[in-house]
Amino acid sequence: MATTPGAIRDRMVTLVKGITPALHAAQKFMPHREELAFRDYCEANPAQCLRRFSVRNGGSTTQALVTSTTLERVEDDMIVEVAYPADWRHGGTQLLGLDDVIASDAVKIETAIGVPSADSTLKGLATVFRPGETERDPSGAVVFLTIRYRVEYARSLA
C-alpha cells in the first residue's frame, strides 16, 4: 500500500494528541499549527507551550531500497519536538520536576508512535525505527524534547 510522509505525519500527530500524560494529566499534548516556526513560537510564548508539539518530515529521503514500475520502498525522517516551559509549575524542585515530566512524556510518545506502537493504522502506513537517543535542548525559557524517527514506507511512482 502506497502512502506519503504527510499521511504518516498526520497519523503520528493524532496519536500523540491522544496521549494521556502520567504527570500533569490535565495538560494534554497540543499540536502546533505550523504557521510559524515551532521553536520561535515557543521561545516567544513560553507560558503557552507546555506539551505543545510538532511532527515534521525531516526531508532526508533515502534512495529507493526496492523499486518496481509503480512503487518504491524508501526511508525518511520524522522529527517530533515537544516544548516545556522552564517555569515553576513542576514543583518546588523545578528542574527535577521538569526532568521527570519530560522523561515520562518521552516514554508515552515512544509507546504511542515509536517501535512498540500497536496502532494498526500507523503500522499499515510505515515501519518505524528510532535510530538515536531522545534529546533535551534547553533554550532559555523553554526546554525542547526531540525524538527522531526513521520511517520506512512504500511511495507511489504514479
pLDDT tens-digit map of 6-60: 999 999 999 999 999 998 889 999 999 999 999 999 999 999 999 999 999 998 8
Report percent pLDDT > 90 for the chain.
80
pLDDT, residue 9, reads 97
CB under 8 A, 24+ apart: contacts of 12-19:
12/55, 12/78, 12/80, 12/113, 12/122, 13/55, 15/112, 15/113, 15/117, 15/119, 15/122, 16/53, 16/55, 16/80, 16/109, 16/112, 16/113, 18/112, 19/105, 19/108, 19/109, 19/112
User: What pTM value is reported for the model?
Assistant: 0.93
Domains of the chain: residue spans and CATH: 5-156 (3.30.2000.10)
